[in-house]
Amino acid sequence: MTYSEAHDWCKSKMGNLPAPETDEENEFLGHLGNTWLGIQTDEAKYLDYINWAQNYPNGNANRAMLINRTPVTNEPWFGKWKDSDGQETISSTCYINVVKGMSQDHDFTYHDFTYLPILKTITPIEMEKFHFI
């Protein structure tokens, strides 16, 4: 998925692209694979947690991605971040608000929710088959 595809897919599920706040969360996401982040490089200076790879962001783009292994060479990056123009195609993780005790067809106004990370390895059509109870 490109950044726009990942962003739109995640929003359609009432979710958000991840923005890791700790080493532990970043490591968890890295174990899932590469993912687009819900962080723009010009906003990163306001974050309490960052994990840029050496020489990144390099100022060439405004989207951020977490890389476990590079898509082309399979080189390990161990969850480091890089900037991108958003056109690269990678899998993506989406944090979805799952309301306890309600299916996804209900109005999400109840405030007792948990975050469920979903790795985009299935199509959005396949995702429609899931109902969270």
Give residue 5's pLDDT. Answer: 92
b/e map of 44-67 (b: 16 or more CB within 10 Å)? beeeeeebebeebbeeebbbbbbb
d(C-alpha 131, C-alpha 109), whole Å: 17
**Digitized pLDDT (tens) for each residue of the chain, 133 residues in all:** 899 999 998 888 888 899 999 999 998 888 888 889 999 988 888 999 999 988 889 888 989 887 877 766 767 788 899 899 999 888 888 887 665 554 544 433 333 334 445 444 444 555 555 444 3
Gyration radius of the chain over CA positions:
15
Give residue 132's pLDDT. Answer: 41
Give residue 125's pLDDT. Answer: 52
Q: Phi and psi dihedrals of 14, rounded to 5?
A: 60, 40
pTM above 0.85, yes or no: no
Give residue 129's pLDDT. Answer: 54
Give residue 124's identity as a one-letter amino acid code: P
Q: Which domains does the chain have, with CATH numbers?
A: 3-121 (3.10.100.10)
Q: Are 53 and 5 in contact (CB under 8 A)?
A: no
Give residue 106's pLDDT. Answer: 42
